[in-house]
Chains A and B, each alone.
Chain A
Amino acid sequence: MALRTAVLRHVRIPVQTLTLNGSKQQLWSLRFMSSHDDHITKAEVIERVLSVVKSFPKVDPAEVTPEVHFQKDLGLDSLDNVEIVMALEEEFKLEIPDKEADKIDSCNLAIEYISNHPMAS
Chain B
Amino acid sequence: MVSSGVAAPTRTEILGLYRSLLRVARDFCDYNIREYTKRRTIDGFRENQNLTDANSISSAYLEGKSQLAVAKRQSVVYSLYAPKVKSVMELNTPTI
Chain A residues with a Cβ under 8 A of chain B: 77-79, 82-83, 85-86, 90, 98, 101-102
Contacts and interface: CB of A to CB of B under 8 A. Distances in A.
Contacts of A78: 11, 15
Nearest to A78: B15
Interface residues of B, number: 13
Interface stretch (B16-24, B59-67, B69-77, B85-93): B16-24
A104 to B, nearest CB: 12
Given A78-B11, A79-B49, A98 B22 contact: no
17 contacts: A77-B49, A78-B11, A78-B15, A79-B15, A79-B42, A79-B45, A79-B49, A82-B19, A82-B22, A83-B22, A83-B42, A85-B19, A86-B19, A86-B22, A90-B26, A98-B16, A102-B15
B19 A101 contact: yes
A77 B19 CA distance: 14
A83 to B, nearest CB: 7
Interface string B9-52: 00110011011001100100000000000000010011001000
Contacts of B49: 77, 79
B46 A79 contact: yes
A79 B47 CA distance: 12
A101 B23 CA distance: 13
Contacts of A98: 16, 19
A98 B46 CA distance: 20
Given A77-B49, A83-B42, A98-B16, 9 more contacts: A79-B15, A82-B15, A82-B19, A83-B22, A85-B19, A86-B19, A86-B22, A101-B19, A102-B12
Contacts of A102: 12, 15
A85 B18 CA distance: 12
A23 B80 CA distance: 42
A82 B18 contact: yes
A101 B42 CA distance: 18
